[in-house]
Copies of this chain bind each other. A is one copy, B any other.
Amino acid sequence: MRVGIIAGSGSLPLALASTLTARGQTPFVLLVENEADPADFKEFPHEVIRITKVGRFLKTLARENCTHITLAGPVKRPDLKNLVPDMEGMKLLGRITGAARKGDDGLMRAITGYLKEKGFTVTGAHELAGDLVVPPGQLGKVTPTERDKTDVNEGIRIVKAVGALDIGQGAIIRDGYVLAVEAAEGTDGLLKRSADFAWDVRAGVFVKLSKPGQELKADMPTIGPDTVTLAAAANLRGIAVEAGHTLILDLKEAIRRADAAGIFIIGIDPASPL
């Protein structure tokens, strides 16, 4: 088995390549042009490919003897009408144009289904690297207060609802009030703009859940040490993510920063509010 990592932006692709390499594997990394930075992947066998060149993705994966594929890190939606796909890209495009109307998740399912048909085993990052998955319960030293728990529970209600609309995975709740909802801008964008509304005292929580029926193999919610730093900069009291359905990059460093900043991180079950 050799793993091909299709690398979008963010830190997940690199964390995954490092984790697999540390275990003695040799993953091949296909960097999506303008999403992943080749400078980050100098140590790993890799190649940069334009997102529309689906035929080239398939050829490269075959050439490198990859049997498994994992999609890691977000890729911005290109304007499908203004791209020049290759032949395989055209075929895939025909399928995903319909699927995209069903939202992100329909799109991801169409892509993973296509890769399966081509003979690859599509594997989630969480299946390849279980130590990256958030466990249930309080992770650091800081315990949520009752007020925090109320905000987390309201966050669960809101994120479930916006998730069901296929809008996004996260929200910021402060004293029962929805400060920000995540859509295409991603978690970093969400937290950065919440800093504009920060009170002088810490208040509010960031809640992130997988969407109902989300294709976790392709698009699993992910946080990391930088999420903690941004949450602290937004003067939030803590972070609540779905245990078992969220990846955490560098758990140790994330906890160290959370403890240092005095904010909590908790793995929650959305079916059992706090």
- A residues in contact (CB < 8 Å) with B: 76-82, 100-101, 103-104, 158, 161-162, 165-168, 171, 175-181, 183-185, 189, 193, 196-197, 199-201, 203
Contact = CB atoms under 8 A, between A and B. Distances in A.
Given A101-B176, A179-B183, A189-B193, 13 more contacts: A77-B177, A77-B197, A82-B201, A158-B167, A162-B165, A166-B178, A167-B181, A178-B183, A178-B184, A179-B184, A180-B184, A185-B196, A185-B197
B199 A82 contact: yes
Report which residue of A78, A81, A101, A165 has the largest number of chain B beta carbons within 10 angstroms of its beta carbon: A165
A168 B158 CA distance: 12
Contacts of A104: 177
A117 to B, nearest CB: 25
A82 B45 CA distance: 54
Given A180-B183, A184-B180, A79 B162 contact: no
Given A79-B203, A200-B82, A165 B176 contact: no
A29 to B, nearest CB: 25
A197 B167 contact: no
B197 A184 contact: yes
A10 to B, nearest CB: 15
A166 B39 CA distance: 44
A207 to B, nearest CB: 13
A76 B183 contact: no
A43 to B, nearest CB: 30
Contacts of A81: 201
Contacts of A179: 183-184
A203 B165 CA distance: 21
